[in-house]
Amino acid sequence: MPAARRIRLRPQDGVPSVPSAEGDPALETLLLPFADGQLAWPDAADEPPVLFLRARPGAALARRGRGGVLCEQTFRPQFEALQREGYRVEEGGDSRHPLVLLLPPRQRDEARALYAHALERVAEGGAVVASVANDEGAKSGQADLARIAGPVAALSKHKCRVFWAHPGRGGGDAGLAAQWRGLDAPRPVAGGRFLSRPGVFAWDRIDAASALLAAHLPSTLAGRGADLGAGYGYLAAELLERCPQIAALDLFEAEKRALDLARANLAGHVGRVELGLYWHDVAAGLPQRYDFIVSNPPFHGQGRAPRPELGRRFIEVAAQALRPGGALWLVANRQLPYEQALGAGFGEVRIVAQQDGFKVVEARKARP
């Protein structure tokens, strides 16, 4: 099992799926203007001439060569997939490049901040190229890029739209771009109790399913625990406030933007318990054994299609990581078919609560 990347909290400190190469039409469309000669792919140099924001691997990208592309990605499964394909990958930077590619996210403030970031990273005279699925806001994305970068050209294929601009040639609103850079900045939510930011799961509220799970967690949970798919840290905070016998708590989260928020949100608990934060794909397994695990597992990938196998994998991993007699506390949509995975991995399963379309489950690992 690949090692998890761990960020240890110290007193002084303040789902995942990867599209296949054949199944990523936005990526295929992104590279269409280079395939038909409307844009030139820059020659490789000592530093990669191409920066790819929110990068994903795929056959169309591989045909362009790996050595000339620097990828940025904060979603761990994609980060690792790019590394396996031989790309240079980082979480963020400030270098400038003659070509900047991006696959914008669905959340509009997060996407606008990414367009503004792309303008910061493109070299003088360079091009910014983006691709968005038609049913995820392609036309509005094209209009947004035009507002800050100037005239935009576009092509459509695979039910997606690729559009590009050459910033600095006139027509872009530099003041608006400066405003948009801060649209996805962390800000207080839930009455100031937590920090969150656009693009993180349930970013502007306390998720109803997580709140239902928290309301039914027993105060007797003790020992070493884990939160799988921890988000910005809501469930972890609830555990630490309600369960005084917890000695250690590890958070596992695939999206680093969310994990950084969790570190800030749990800073007040440093020193009272042992806290570990892992930027990690739970589907790869866990490096530790636990007395209890809590989870509101994902049931979508990075698109809209339901992916119940992600939740089932979280259940399998939890069963493997729990000590005999340990308990998984899980919340899920009532219709999600998790019963077989729960029955296969646990000796005792009970429905604790059903409300507003959600179910809270306690599953206990059998003792030898």
pLDDT grade for 21, boundaries at 50, 70 and 90: very low
Domain-ending residue, one of 133, 165, 180: 180
- Return the residue matching tokens 């303040």: 14
Same domain assignment for residues 201 and 165: no
Q: Does residue 26 belong to any structural domain of this protein? A: no
Same domain assignment for residues 143 and 239: no
Surface-to-core class of residue 172, CB atoms within 10 Å of its CB (0-12 exposed, 13-18 middle, 19+ buried): buried
Same domain assignment for residues 351 and 206: yes
Same domain assignment for residues 149 and 91: yes
| Interval 231-251 mean pLDDT | 97
Same domain assignment for residues 145 and 252: no
Q: Does residue 25 belong to any structural domain of this protein? A: no
**Cα-only R_g, the chain:** 22
What are 246's two structure tokens? 């917890």
Same domain assignment for residues 254 and 352: yes
What are 70's two structure tokens? 């620097």
Residue 243 belongs to domain spanning: 5-14+186-364
- Return the residue matching tokens 């362009």: 64
E strand or H helix at 122: strand 122-133
Q: Does residue 354 belong to any structural domain of this protein? A: yes
Same domain assignment for residues 216 and 154: no
Helix 108-121 vs helix 138-149: crossing angle, to nearest 10: 40
Distances (CA, A) of 270 to 13, 260, 348: 8, 15, 34
Domain-ending residue, one of 125, 148, 180: 180
Same domain assignment for residues 222 and 290: yes
Same domain assignment for residues 201 and 340: yes
Domains contained in the chain, number: 2
Same domain assignment for residues 223 and 154: no
Phi-psi region of 146 (alpha: psi -120 to 50; beta: other; left: phi over 0): alpha
β-bridge partners, 274: 248
| Interval 150-164 mean pLDDT | 97
The pTM (predicted TM-score) of the whole model is 0.90
pLDDT grade for 44, boundaries at 50, 70 and 90: confident
Asked if 325 and 307 touch (Cβ cutoff 8 Å), the reply is no
Same domain assignment for residues 145 and 206: no
What are 268's two structure tokens? 């007040």
The domain that holds 283 is classified in CATH as: 3.40.50.150
Q: Does residue 110 belong to any structural domain of this protein? A: yes
Q: How many CB atoms lie within 10 A of CB 189?
A: 20
Has residue 239 got a pLDDT over 60?
yes
Domain-ending residue, one of 117, 149, 180: 180
Read off the pLDDT of residues 97-147 as tens digits, 9 standing for 90 and up: 999 999 999 999 999 999 999 999 999 999 999 999 999 999 999 999 999
- 160-165 vs 122-133, strand pairing mode: antiparallel
Same domain assignment for residues 150 and 240: no
